[in-house]
Amino acid sequence: MNTRFDFSDQCGIVTGPASGIGKAVALLLAESNAGLVLVDRDASGLEAVTRSCREICATAPLAVNADVSRESDVRRMVDETLSLFGKIDFLVTSAGILFRNRFTDISMQEWDELMDTNVRGLFMCNQLVVREMLKQGGGTIVNVASVAGRSISLIGGVHYCASKHAVIGITRHMARELCTQGIRANAFCPGATHTPMIYDNMAPEEIKDLENRIASGRLAEPEEQASVIAFLLSDSASYLNGACLDSNGGSVML
């Protein structure tokens, strides 16, 4: 059992847990005895992480195969969570996509596809969950942004960068508007991390060059980033609201 965090009295939703940081978050929360609803459009990855969580947590997680860019799927996600647990204590939005096309080569179809997931989907998840949190008197939200939302992206295109700036703006506004109603919302801004998103989009020599740009000289492990998210969800971060917490290996400037 994980001794760093205890979420045994809480339940909530993690989007994008099939791989990367979202997967590490799901496993850490399962070790911390949280009641979990895991939401991803990658059916095979979702099945694998759900199985792993069931092996380490007495409370079996609910797997919801859904696409956060579809309103009907997001509503189903919320309905199934309430049906199982009767409440939603936390939300972690880790679902996101990335494309690398250059500024002049981005089609409007590609722009819309990325924004539908990274911005519209994140907004819908937050809005529908917040409506339930207001009924129950509070909750905690961590929206996964990126160092790209602080400056520029060294991996994705301008649409990815713009989407992560939007995540931070949405989160800050939510925090200001909802803080007196018991809801904390913070943005998490991870730097380059050992995830499929990196390896699916970058050649080995590009990854090496990226490591050389990081002050710590290496990419983060997903488990390191998951620990920061768990902290933001925990009571130890009770006065953090509207924050954008960086975890980038000391890379203050890109």
The Cα 190–Cα 114 span in angstroms is 19
Residues 6 or more apart whose CB falls under 8 angstroms from that of 30 comprise 36, 52, 53, 56, 57, 61
**Cβ atoms of 15 and 40 closer than 8 Å:** yes
The Cα 183–Cα 190 span in angstroms is 22
**Cβ atoms of 168 and 146 closer than 8 Å:** no
The Cα 6–Cα 17 span in angstroms is 20
Residues 6 or more apart whose CB falls under 8 angstroms from that of 137 comprise 181, 182
**CA-CA-CA-CA torsion sign (223, 226, 231, 234):** negative
Query: Which residue in 62, 63, 64, 54 sits closest to 31, CA to CA?
Result: 54
The Cα 129–Cα 79 span in angstroms is 10
Instruction: Single out the catalytic residue among 5, 7, 90, 160.
Output: 160
Q: Is 160 part of the annotated catalytic residue set?
A: yes
* Catalytic positions: 160
